[in-house]
């Protein structure tokens, strides 16, 4: 059984357990600002969407499945050719959060780990005299991280979510124009802002 199938099976089981614990469901879209630690990589913006539930005394526990997307671009001129490249990351994470304070509080602090996998797409294009080519390849690898943040109650069933996540994506290999390229481990600091709609 490969990593993705195991991950989906685990998500299904944990979500079922959360449901049996009378969880309050939610959906949370978010915007991301990503600062990678890799040399030469620029900051980027992205977006994410989480679905899950809160359960337990004071709704202190939260489980969610989150998918997100972010892209880094680089470009340069080489021997008269305009060469550009990009890396697209799409992490799929199972998140756990522990909330401090009372469920009815206007503001709550939380911490929690994340684990899953990330789909990575590497693309390269070159434009020059009699040349206009673009090639890409995709792979997937393990991803994990940890988050902390604050939740502000905006309405009875609506929360503003502000936080920070450290994310690690394991390096892997892709094949570009017949050449095997090794992608380094990706490490990034992620700031995010989202709105939770509870139901």
- In angstroms, the CA 130 to CA 53 distance is 55
Residue 12's SS3 state is: helix
Q: What is the pTM of this model?
A: 0.78
pLDDT for residue 74 = 67
Phi-psi region of 60 (alpha: psi -120 to 50; beta: other; left: phi over 0): alpha
Predicted confidence (pLDDT) per residue in 99-146, tens digit: 999 999 999 999 999 999 999 887 877 777 776 777 788 888 999 999
Q: List CB contacts of 137: < 8 A, sequence separation 6 or more.
A: 121, 122, 174, 175, 176
> How many residues in total does the chain contain?
199
- In angstroms, the CA 121 to CA 115 distance is 20
Domains present along the chain, CATH in parentheses: 3-71+90-116+140-171+184-198 (2.40.160.20)
For 24-59, letters b (16+ CB in 10 Å) and e give ebbebebebebebeeeebeebebebebebbbbeeeb
- Is a pLDDT exceeding 70 seen at residue 176? no
Percent of the chain surpassing pLDDT 70: 78
Tokens read off for 181: 């390229």
Share the mean pLDDT of the chain.
84
């Amino acid at each position: 059984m490969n990593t993705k199938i195991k991950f989906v099976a685990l998500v299904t089981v944990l979500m079922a357990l959360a449901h049996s614990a009378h969880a309050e469901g939610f959906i949370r879209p978010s915007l991301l600002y990503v600062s990678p630690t890799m040399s030469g990589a620029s900051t980027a913006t992205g977006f994410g969407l989480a679905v899950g539930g809160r359960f337990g005394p004071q709704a202190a526990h939260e489980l969610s499945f989150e998918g997100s997307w972010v892209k880094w671009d680089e470009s340069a001129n080489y021997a008269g050719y305009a060469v550009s490249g990009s890396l697209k990351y799409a992490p799929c994470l199972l998140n756990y959060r522990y909330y401090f304070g009372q469920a009815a509080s206007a503001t709550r602090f939380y911490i929690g780990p994340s684990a899953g996998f990330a789909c990575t797409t590497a693309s390269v294009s070159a434009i020059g005299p009699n040349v206009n080519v673009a090639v890409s390849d995709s792979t997937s690898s393990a991803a994990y991280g940890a988050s902390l943040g604050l939740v502000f109650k905006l309405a009875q069933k609506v929360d503003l979510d502000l936080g920070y996540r450290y994310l690690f994506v394991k390096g892997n290999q892709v094949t570009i124009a017949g050449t095997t390229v090794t992608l380094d481990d990706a490490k990034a600091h992620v700031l995010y802002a989202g709105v939770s709609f509870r139901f």
